[in-house]
Amino acid sequence: MTPPRPLNDADSFAATETAIRTSATIFSINVSGGGIPKTPVPSIKVLSGGLEGDAHDHEKHDSPSQAVSVLDVEVLTDLRAEGFMVFPGATGENLTVAGLHVDSLTIGTRLRFAGGVELELTKVRQPCYVLDAIHPQLKKAIVGRCGFLARVVTTGHLTCGETIGIQTP
């Protein structure tokens, strides 16, 4: 199966929304030099501090326990249906995943990626005022479905389309 191509704007995301898979996979890997949106890349090296080349505009986000943010692509699809112009990376997530239902998971859950990387969910992700740049109501609309922050347990390399296993605590 061919991994999905990185998506870098709302139009290309809308065109491929129907291709979302039912098993848990990496839909998009997103990084930036700081701030939003984060730009999709096809693959990336995962270091103990997070994704190589990714940075944050706010010091509060620089923590090993918050090294990687994870959000379901299905949430983005729902938000688009609600009128918000979002796409993978738009809300600042590092990993846009498909079929994982990350908001239903709990702190301590481990995500094991087919290539060997392992993450542990450490904190429910909270909406931030930077989302106002997308729409002033987005912070409110995304409450309870903003994904998780995670620490890196095992470093390695991630690739779009890679499968994800789940180990609950």
Give the pLDDT confidence of 41-88 residue by residue, as tens digits: 999 999 999 999 998 655 555 677 899 999 999 999 999 999 999 999
pLDDT of residue 4: 45
Count of helices and strands (H, E) across the chain: 3, 11
Overall CATH class of domain 10-167: mainly beta
Averaged pLDDT of the chain: 87
CB 169 within 8 Å of CB 109: yes
Q: What is the pTM of this model?
A: 0.85
pLDDT of residue 5: 47
Quote the CA–CA distance of 161 and 49 in Å, as a whole number: 23
Q: What is the mean pLDDT of residues 123-131?
A: 91
Cis? peptide before 37, omega within 30° of 0? yes
pLDDT digits (tens, 9 = 90+) for 75-112: 999 999 999 999 999 999 999 999 999 999 999 999 99
Q: Which of 142, 141, 134, 56 is nearest to 94 (CA)?
A: 56
Q: Which residue has the tokens 């005022």?
A: 129
